[in-house]
Amino acid sequence: MGLFDDIGKVQAAGGSRYLTPGNYTCEVQALKVIESQKRRGQQFFVAELAVVDCDNGEFGPGECASWVVNMDHQSALSNIKGFAMALDTDSSDSSITPQVMEELVSSDNPAAGIKVRGFLYNVKTKAGKDFTKANWSAFA
């Protein structure tokens, strides 16, 4: 058995930090769906972003960051839809379809280079822990 025999069965590891509370302007690098390496079958929507500007001092211009949505959560699709609508100033609630989302996460990477604005803030979960919520809007 060779050292790299199973490399075709795994996903390349990512490495950017999660966005923290603050106001952001970001440029999309890639949108994708990945499977958890810890829990088989659990999927995440991932927006890989380059920070253009932020007011919280934790990210400088050009730094990479990720916005990750656990697809198991009830609010996942509505949160992702809000992000998708921010990608296009002409979009509407009804224009974000399954086909549009499949294209956005495809290897063609059509959202790369699009700028979005994000307002991220913490809310308390039922368990009393902080959860960072995001409101996305188009960059005009």
β-pairing verdict for 115-124 and 64-70: unpaired
Closest of 20, 99, 111, 104 to residue 66, by C-alpha: 20
d(CA 68, CA 82): 13
Q: 114-139, pLDDT tens digit by residue?
A: 999 999 999 998 999 999 999 999 99
**pLDDT cut 70: percent of the chain above it:** 94
SS (H, E, C) the chain: CCCCCCHHHCCCCCCCEECCCEEEEEEEEEEEEEECCCCCCCEEEEEEEEEEEECCCCCCCCCEEEEEEECCCCCHHHHHHHHHHHCCCCCCHHHCCHHHHHHHCCCCCCCCCCEEEEEEEEEECCCCCEEEEEEEEECC
pTM above 0.75, yes or no: yes
- Kindly indicate the confidence band of residue 140, based on its pLDDT and cuts at 50, 70 and 90: confident
- Kindly indicate the confidence band of residue 2, based on its pLDDT and cuts at 50, 70 and 90: confident
What's CA 90's distance to the chain center, in Å? 21
d(CA 8, CA 49): 26
Instruction: Read off the tokens for 6.
Output: 């199973």
What pLDDT shows up at residue 15?
60
Least confident of 41-45, 47-51, 85-89: 41-45
What pLDDT shows up at residue 4?
75
What pLDDT shows up at residue 10?
62
- Kindly indicate the confidence band of residue 37, based on its pLDDT and cuts at 50, 70 and 90: confident
What pLDDT shows up at residue 8?
76
